[in-house]
C-alpha cells in the first residue's frame, strides 16, 4: 500500500527557537551536513516507496517550493498546501485534507527524523483497528519532549508534558498514521495542535503507539540542531553496506 499512501510533511514553521543559528528560511530548510533537512525526509519516503507527498507550507513557502518543485529530482511527486495563517499542526493537516488521497495517511514533522518500518506500521495500524498510530521511540532523556504512557497492547493511555516525566521514557517521534476521521475533530479555520489537543482526546479511544528503536533526531533547538550535524550523517552512513544503501523503512 505504501505506493498509494499520501505522506503529509508539516513544513510551515519559522523555527523561532533556531533564530540564533538560522535566519530567513523555514525551519525544515535548515542546513544539516550541508543539505536542507527536508531533503532527508523526502529521501526517506522515496526509499520506503511512499511517493505521493504533500508539503504543508507556510512561512516563506516560496523557498521550499523553489527548491523542491514537483519532487521528481527526489523520486517523489510533491504537491503543496499553503497555510496563510498559523493554524497549528492539526489545522495545517485539516486545511490540506482535499489533497489527501489515502485513508489512512502518513504524517511527518518537518523538523525531526526517525528510522521506521513503514510496512510494519501499516500492518499494526490495521491489525489493531487503530484510529491513529504514533511512532514512539525510547529516549534516555525524555523530559525536553514529554512522554507517552502505553498499556501492554501499546494503546496510548496518557501523555506527560515536557519536564513532567522520568528521564527514560517513550516519546512521540513526530511520525503518525492517521485515519481521515481524525481530521473531523479539528475545528475549521482555527489553530489546533494534533499533539496537545487531538491526541490527548484520543487516548484510550483507538490511539496506539508503534515502537521503534530510533534514533530520534530533532532540529528544533540550537543544541539538538548542532548535534544533528553529526548524528544524521552517521546514521545514514551506518546503513551503507558494501556501497549499497539499505532502506531506512524496511
Assign 3-class secondary structure to the chain: CHHHCEEEEEECCCCHHHCCCCCCCCHHHCEECCEEHHHHHHHHHHHHCCCEEEEEECCCHHHHHHHHCCCHHHCCEEEEEECCCCCHHHHHHHHCHHHCCCCCEEEEECCEECCCCHHHHHHHHHHCCCCEEEEEEEECCCCCCCEEEECCCCEEEEEECCCCCCCCEEEEEEEEEECHHHHHHCCCCCCCCHHHHHHHHHCCCCEEEEECCCCCEECCCHHHHHHHHHHHHHHHHHCEECCEECCCCC
pLDDT in tens, 179-207: 999 999 999 889 999 999 999 999 999 99
Q: Quote the pLDDT of residue 247.
A: 35
| Average pLDDT score over residue span 89-97 | 97
Of the residues 162, 167, 190, 234, which is catalytic? Answer: 162
CA quadruple 86, 90, 96, 102: dihedral, nearest 10: 170
From 3.40.50.12140, 3.40.50.300, 3.90.550.10, 3.40.630.30, which CATH number describes the 2-134+173-232 domain? 3.90.550.10
Domain layout of the chain by residue ranges:
2-134+173-232
pLDDT in tens, 27-74: 999 999 999 999 999 999 999 999 999 999 999 999 999 999 999 999
Q: Quote the pLDDT of residue 168.
A: 72
Query: pLDDT class for 1, splitting at 50, 70, 90?
Result: low
pLDDT at residue 243 is higher than 70: no
Most confident of 122-126, 143-147, 159-163, 213-217: 122-126
Active site annotation includes 162: yes
123 vs 246, higher pLDDT: 123
Question: Global pTM?
Answer: 0.92
Amino acid at each position: 500500500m505504501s505506493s498509494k499512501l499520501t505522506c503529509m510533511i508539516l513544513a510551515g514553521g519559522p523555527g523561532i527557537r533556531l533564530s540564533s543559528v538560522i535566519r530567513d528560511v523555514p525551519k525544515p530548510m535548515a542546513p544539516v551536513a550541508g543539505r536542507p533537512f527536508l531533503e532527508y525526509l523526502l529521501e526517506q519516503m522515496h526509499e520506503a516507496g511512499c511517493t505521493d507527498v504533500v508539503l504543508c507550507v507556510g512561512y516563506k513557502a516560496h523557498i521550499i517550493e523553489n527548491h523542491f518543485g514537483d519532487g521528481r529530482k527526489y523520486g517523489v511527486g510533491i504537491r503543496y498546501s499553503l497555510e496563510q495563517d498559523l493554524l497549528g499542526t492539526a489545522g495545517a493537516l485539516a486545511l490540506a485534507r482535499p489533497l489527501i488521497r489515502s485513508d489512512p495517511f502518513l504524517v511527518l514533522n518537518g523538523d525531526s527524523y526517525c528510522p521506521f518500518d513503514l510496512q510494519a506500521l501499516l500492518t499494526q495500524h490495521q491489525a489493531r483497528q487503530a484510529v491513529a498510530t504514533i511512532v514512539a521511540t525510547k529516549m534516555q532523556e525524555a523530559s525536553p519532549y514529554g512522554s507517552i504512557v502505553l498499556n501492554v497492547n501499546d494503546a496510548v493511555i496518557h501523555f506527560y508534558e515536557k519536564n513532567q516525566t522520568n528521564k527514560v521514557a517513550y516519546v512521540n517521534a513526530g511520525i503518525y498514521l492517521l485515519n481521515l476521521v481524525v481530521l473531523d475533530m479539528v475545528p475549521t479555520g482555527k489553530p489546533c495542535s494534533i499533539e496537545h489537543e487531538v491526541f490527548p482526546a484520543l487516548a484510550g479511544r483507538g490511539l496506539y503507539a508503534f515502537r521503534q528503536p530510533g534514533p530520534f533526531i530533532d532540529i528544533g533547538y540550537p543544541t539538538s540542531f548542532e548535534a544533528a550535524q553529526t548524528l544524521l550523517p552517521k546514521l545514514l552512513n551506518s546503513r551503507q553496506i558494501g556501497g549499497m544503501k539499505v532502506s531506512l523503512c524496511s
